[in-house]
Amino acid sequence: MKTNMKKLTIFLTMLATLIGLVGCGDDDSTPQPVGPQAEYPLVLMTQNPTDPFNGFLTAFDELPSGDVDPTDRFNTVDVTSSQGMIPFGNSIFARDFEGNDGVLRYDIEEDGTITTGQFIDGGQRLKVHVVSETKGYYADLEQFNIQVFNPQTMQRTGEVDMSSAIQGDQDVQQVLYMISRDGKLFAGFTAGPAEFSTFRDAVFLAVIDIQTDELEAVRIREGASFLGDFWIRTNPFVIDANNDIYMTALGNPFGQGNNSGLNGEGRLSKVLRIRSGETDFDPNYEWDIANELGQPSVMRSLFIASNGSAYTCLLSEDVRTPDLFSLPVYRFFQIDLANQTGSVVPGLPITSGFGTATLLEFDNKVLFPIQNVDMQFNGYYFQDLSSRETGEQFRLTAGGRPRSFVVLD
């Protein structure tokens, strides 16, 4: 009897302890970790001003401030082709550090060092979109089919046959950018008689089933042009809190006529939307953003912060190449995508650097890349999401202009 009572007492004590632990877990008000869990969650790529392609890659364990020399850090990697990058997990995917055409995985280790994984051969201006740890897609300007790969092994595993998406007898058909949602891959593409040309009056979108890698549909929307972007360093597609996709149609980025240059003429720059659960463009949504905000078109990237605030970068005046690349002629806007309104973000300088408008959020701040030769400034400004205060976050004292800055997942 005593033995049984002793066993019962031990059992009840263990049960009470277990219940107490469960109860403490339910009532525990200790904040849980949120946001990036990487030890070095911020990765910066810069571009050397003396060379149009090479630069530096480094990682930070906290948001830098003040003067920053990325060339003098313990974990800096030289890159021959600083063409931007995308993050996934504790890795980034970018061009080979020697500048070879294709995609290389860089891993950010716990101690901040940057190591390289395997390399996949590909064409120039390669676009990459990672869906999961074992599946991703890449596309380049040299072939129309979208390639499938395993991000862990960095092996090509197949391709999406895009032959049924070909638009007539156009000589060049190219995938511009990709985003995924609800088991579908959405790939904007262009078609034209020559490289870097496009139909002037329509955009094209391929809808692909991620499970089967088969092309399901081709969507065509007239009245806009150039859906997405050639570059990996911009982000022209975003998904909002309602699960709606917003897409930028850059317009004709090369003006009209042989001698017009990049001066804003003839562009059909628009923002388009695909509703949650849909795979076609919303027929009731089209924002002629540049003209309605009083700008001469050409928008670079979209970004939505955690509080729902959205941002883009617009050309602020009509200029021709090469001024489009070198002069500070772009301005950042805060926009309301649903209601189609927007205004200049106050306190930010105008910026140059065509194609370097990738924004990010960290420590409750939105960070804006700024290159302004008149101010002799290369670096980042911030806007605090709570107070709306803006100011200088950090200045690059070496290594060139900001090329890409990402937060690891």
Domain boundaries, the chain: 36-122+396-409, 126-230, 234-357
Least confident piece of the model among 162-171, 247-256, 262-271, 300-309:
262-271
**Residues facing residue 91 across a β-bridge:** 88, 107
pLDDT tens digit sequence for 155-168: 999 999 999 999 88
> Locate tokens 């391709």: which residue?
159
Structure tokens at 123: 């064409």
Structure tokens at 81: 């082709």
Q: How far apart are the C-alpha atoms of 7 and 232, rounded to whole Å?
A: 66
DSSP 8-state assignment for residue 15: H
Q: How far apart are the C-alpha atoms of 187 and 174, rounded to whole Å?
A: 10
Three-state helix/strand/coil letters over 232-277: CCCCCEEECCCCCEEEEECCCCCCCCCCCCCCCCCCCCEEEEECCC
pLDDT at 196 over 90: no
pLDDT at 325 over 80: no
**Confidence at 376, pLDDT banded by 50, 70, 90:** very high
CB 214 within 8 A of CB 160: yes
Percent of the chain with pLDDT over 70: 82
Q: What average pLDDT does this structure show over 391-403?
A: 95
Q: Where are the beta strands (DSSP E) in 289-329?
A: 299-304, 310-315
Q: Please give the distance of CA 203 from its chain centroid, rounded to a whole number.
A: 20
More confident residue, 13 or 113: 113
pLDDT at 60 over 80: yes
